[in-house]
Structures are given as structure tokens and as C-alpha cells.
Amino acid sequence: MKAKVDILALVLGFVGLFGTILVTALPMWRVSAFIGANLIVMEELWEGLWMNCYRQADIRMQCKVYDSLLILPPELQASRGLMCASIILVAIALFVTGCGIKKSNCCGDNMRSKNITLALAGSLYLLSCLITLIPVSWVGHTVIRNFYNPVIDDSQKRELGEALFIGWATSGILLINGIILLFVYSKRTSKEEEYYTDAYIVAARDTKKEESMHLESAPSSTHMHHEYV
């Protein structure tokens, strides 16, 4: 059962890493909204962190990298840095998780060090979950707010892209993995404390037995006086 939990943590870590990379690379953060009478339905526009893609009628999809970071809205500018930081954190957390599992050669047989390593990995997963959730939710909130804003023209309104939904799902996976690792850490720590407590009680009993045996084997003063006479 313990080995299965370790394998599950590694699998979820790989899924979380793949998800964060996919969300960062996909251009479908904001997609064109097919509303209004003047908007041509055959047009399709995708906007991502690094490029935008455009297709009209039967023309092949064409993508172009942004010429400058300054032309992006603030939420997309911040999302670039946050998503890159999330990828780095998930990669580090995955490596630390591999070092903290029981079958790993890292830290040798020192279970206390491995438990601390697992707690660190769980904390990194929770932090990466937060860093992934912030940009995805920020962009999603902006898209929904602008969609219902009557001042903005219909051609400028966007809908939630597939990358946002994948980002929310990835955040959930990272959250679950962090909770699992912290739960395993607390369980191992409690067992370790019970082990040390039992060992201390056994050692105390052995000490008392040795002292009592020593007192029983010591000759009394009356017996020593009779032997002297």
C-alpha cells in the first residue's frame, strides 16, 4: 500500500508537470466569441501567452508570435512569468518526491530525512498549485467581465479557452498531490514517534530490571557479619 501511494504521487507529479507545460504553451487562453450580427462566424481567433492564431473560412490556421510583451494586457503579461515559475516549481517538486520515497537511495536509511523531503515536496506542490491557479483565474475573470460589459464591442469580446480549463484541472491535480504527500508525511511522523516512545519505554523497563537484579544479588550486612564470624 505504501509503495502504491509513492507511485501515485510520482504519476500525479508527472501529470501536473505535463499539464503546466501544456497550459503555458497552448494559444487557446482566450478565443473569439461568436455573438452579434456583424461578427463572421467563419472567423476564429485564439490568443495565448506567446502567440495568437487566426483562421478565416477554409484558410489554414496561421499563428504569429507577439512582437512585444508590452502589447499584451496586464493579466497575460503576469501569466507568462507565473506559469514559467509554476513549471520550475513542479519540476523541483517532482525531483524532491523521487528523493523522498522509501525505495529511493537518497538519504540512505534515514527515514526522518526522507519524511522531511516528502513534506518539502508536498509544500512545493501546493505552492505550484497556487501559482498556476492565480493566472488562470485572473484571465478567466477578465474574459467573463469583458464579455458582459456593454461598453466593449462584440467583435472585441472573447470566451474562455481550453487552456484555462486545463489549467484549473492541473491546479486540482497539484493540490491533491500536495495533500497526499503531506498526509503521508504526517502518518510516517506519527509512526516514528510511536516507535521512539515504545523504544524508550522498553529501555526504561530494562533499566529497572537491571537495577532490581543488582539489588537482589547484593549481600546483606547481616550475612556478611556471619561470614566474618
How many domains in the chain? 1
Is 77 inside a domain boundary?
A: yes
Is 222 inside a domain boundary?
A: no
Q: Is the pLDDT of residue 33 over 90?
A: no
- As given in the structure block, the three cell numbers for residue 129 are 498549485
Q: How many CB atoms lie within 10 A of CB 166?
A: 17
Mean predicted confidence (pLDDT) in 101-125: 76
Is 224 inside a domain boundary?
A: no
* Separation CA 181–CA 154 (nearest Å): 47
Return the CATH number at 141.
1.20.140.150
Is 225 inside a domain boundary?
A: no
Q: Return phi, psi of residue 56, to 5°.
A: -130, 130
Average pLDDT over the chain reads 79
pLDDT at 38: 47
Q: Is the pLDDT of residue 228 over 50?
A: no
Domain that holds residue 104: 2-216
pLDDT band at 69 (very low <50, low <70, confident <90, very high): confident
Mean predicted confidence (pLDDT) in 73-78: 90
Contact between 157 and 147 under an 8 Å Cβ cutoff? The reply is yes
Is 112 inside a domain boundary?
A: yes
216-224, Cβ contacts within 8 angstroms, sequence gap of 24 or more: none
pLDDT in tens, 163-207: 999 999 999 999 999 998 888 877 766 655 444 454 445 444 555
pLDDT in tens, 34-52: 665 544 456 788 888 999 8
Q: Is the pLDDT of residue 125 over 90?
A: yes
Is 229 inside a domain boundary?
A: no
